[in-house]
Amino acid sequence: MMDRDRAYKIALGAIAEAQRTTERLAAESFDQLWHGFEILRDTFQADRHVHVCGNGGSASDAQHFVTELVVRLDSASTRRPLPATALTTDTSILTAASNDLGFEHVFARQIEARARRDDLLVLISTSGNSPNLLVAAGAARMQGMKTVALLGKNGGRLKSMVDCAVVVPSESTQRIQEVHALCLHLWCEWLEAEFPVA
């Protein structure tokens, strides 16, 4: 049974673990985080499109990220909207592709239909081993797209398939997702400094 004192200890432990994980990311992988931003910036400067995908909580992160790219992060920002699409939102496409082609093709099929050379695919995964993300990364390469991945644990198979892999050094799915959210917010903050006025 969960009581208040036990809940408080769990909360403090989670906060401490998230802080340790964030500090390790900053120390070990900041160059990759910055490189991911540079790829995003260069994509938007070239008037190309960003496509984002993930599963479960990472699908929510994909949609959250795209919302902040298209609308804005900071309510005081006056920057132009940045062209981005979450490949996780069209239930008709997702269910048709799953039914007709198999779930591993739900993102790749959209990439084949919508993406162009020099667009960017951002993949979000705590494991780096989701079959539909692996197939999507392969489809992106065939299209001549750049690829950036936010990953966790050891990065999984996706780590070696993308141009830039930011790996959150944790085995805890929830801590990885929390730090992924921070990474996405940092990218948005840096982009709003790069594109300050609409």
Stated pTM of the model:
0.95
12: confidence class by pLDDT, cuts 50, 70, 90: very high
Query: What is the DSSP secondary-structure string of 20-60?
Result: HHHHHHHHHHHHHHHHHHHHHHHHHHTT--EEEEESTHHHH
Specify the fold of 4-194.
Rossmann fold (3.40.50)
The per-residue pLDDT for 28 is: 87
Query: What is the DSSP secondary-structure string of 66-100?
Result: HHHHHT-SSTT-BPPP--EEETT--HHHHHHHHHH
CA distances from 150 to 6, 17, 84, 123 (A): 32, 19, 17, 6
**Tokens describing residue 72:** 């804005």
- The answer to which of 15-29, 58-72, 104-118 has the lowest mean pLDDT is 15-29
The per-residue pLDDT for 2 is: 81
The per-residue pLDDT for 60 is: 98
Please check the confidence at residue 8 and state whether its pLDDT lies above 80: yes
The per-residue pLDDT for 46 is: 97
Please check the confidence at residue 1 and state whether its pLDDT lies above 90: no
Q: How confident is the model over 86-131, as pLDDT tens digits?
A: 999 999 999 999 999 999 999 999 999 999 999 999 999 999 999 9
